[in-house]
Amino acid sequence: MRVLLQFPEGLKQEALRHAKKLEGEGNEVFISASPTFGACDLALDEARNLKVDKLVHFGHAEFSHVDFNVEYVNYQIDAPLGLLPQSLVYLKAYDTIGISTTIQHMHQLDSVKDFYEKNGKKILIGRPYGFAKMAGQLLGCDIGSAASIDSRVDAHVYFGGGIFHPIGALLSTKKPFLVVDPFNNKISFIDSYRELYEKRRRGKIIASSGARNFGILMTTKNGQHNLALAKLLKARIEKDGLTAQILVASTFDFESLDNMREFDAFVNTACPRIAIDDTGRTRKPLLSANELIEVLRMKAEQKGIEAQSMQR
């Protein structure tokens, strides 16, 4: 069998071992060297060009159905639970806790739940919105496991490495958000990021108030491609007498975007985290679809004020 293996950045160090194991079983094996951001970003072009029989995607569960033979290897990681007792100090004031994690640690979520319940906490685990598959699971683009229970908890606890996933959930919730990171041996509330990201959001909108030419980013990635939204936003922009063009790529190179100097602002229709995490990588404002609507509303209000002034 001809097989293509695909690993996210955190698991690429495992690629050679898995390739050699499969070769030893009589398979012809290739490894995708492209970056991948999840199961929304399958190496389908490489797989089809190589005419492989199967694409094996490590580290993520199925995101959306694709017309190709894909095997998903979730890749469980046992994280040490030793920080949980220390986290109780941070949670003294909170009785009802919502817990969440990533696919790599889902098998440990019951252990985290049992620990907190044995220490007097009421634990809630929310359901994702649709892209994630399991209760308590967070994706960068599916924070439903936290947001769906926000009104019923006193605080949230994310168990896992880094802050990429909990930042997404934080921005869609209002309750205190504690990160228990067993890999960096760190426990911290990340609530201050709400104000930081809100300032960035307002700054982008204000910076786009004078924009007339908009570049709409549309990706060809299997789980992020949204031509319908890109066309809708283009029509909405042009309805206001402004200029818009759809820009297409698989992975956007921000230096290349900066070379498109005729555009005054960019609008993201790909992974929603691009307009949150990558705003500092372009010289021009990088807006979400909702932020674009705010910009257009602000322009309309300003136009109305100017019209009233001229009538006086």
pLDDT for position 196: 96
For strands 177-181 and 155-159, give the pairing: parallel
- Give the long-range contacts of residues 294-302, CB within 8 A, separation 24 or more: 294/205, 295/205, 295/208, 295/209, 295/211, 295/265, 296/236, 296/237, 296/240, 298/205, 298/209, 299/209, 299/240, 300/240, 302/209
268, 215 Cβ separation under 8 angstroms: no
b/e map of 184-214 (b: 16 or more CB within 10 Å)?
eeebeebeeeeeebeeebeebbeebeebebb
Per CATH, the homologous superfamily of domain 2-73 is Diphthamide synthesis DPH1/DPH2 domain 1 (3.40.50.11840)
Question: What band does 10 get if pLDDT is binned at 50, 70 and 90?
Answer: confident
pTM over 0.85, yes/no: yes
Domain 2-73 matches domain 198-305 at the CATH topology level: yes
What contacts 154, CB < 8 A, 6 or more positions away? 93, 94, 95, 96, 97, 175, 176
Cβ neighbour number for residue 173 with a 10 Å cutoff: 23
Q: What is the pLDDT of residues 77-91, one digit of tens each?
A: 999 999 999 999 999
In the chain, what are the domain boundaries?
A: 2-73, 84-190, 198-305
Q: Using pLDDT thresholds of 50, 70 and 90, give the confidence band for residue 305.
A: low
CA distance 61 to 64: 9
Q: Is the pLDDT of residue 28 over 80?
A: yes
Position 303 confidence tier, pLDDT thresholds 50, 70, 90: confident
Banded pLDDT at 311 (limits 50, 70, 90) = low
Q: Which CATH class is domain 84-190?
A: alpha beta
Residue 302 pLDDT level (bands cut at 50, 70, 90) = confident
Give me the half-sphere count of Cα atoms (radius 13 Å) on the Cβ side of residue 96.
Answer: 11
Confirm if 41 and 222 have CB atoms less than 8 A apart: yes
Identify the CATH class of 198-305: alpha beta
Structure confidence at residue 170 (pLDDT):
97
């802050």: which residue's tokens? Answer: 163
Q: Which helix (H) or strand (E) holds 156?
A: strand 155-159
Percent of the chain with pLDDT over 90: 89
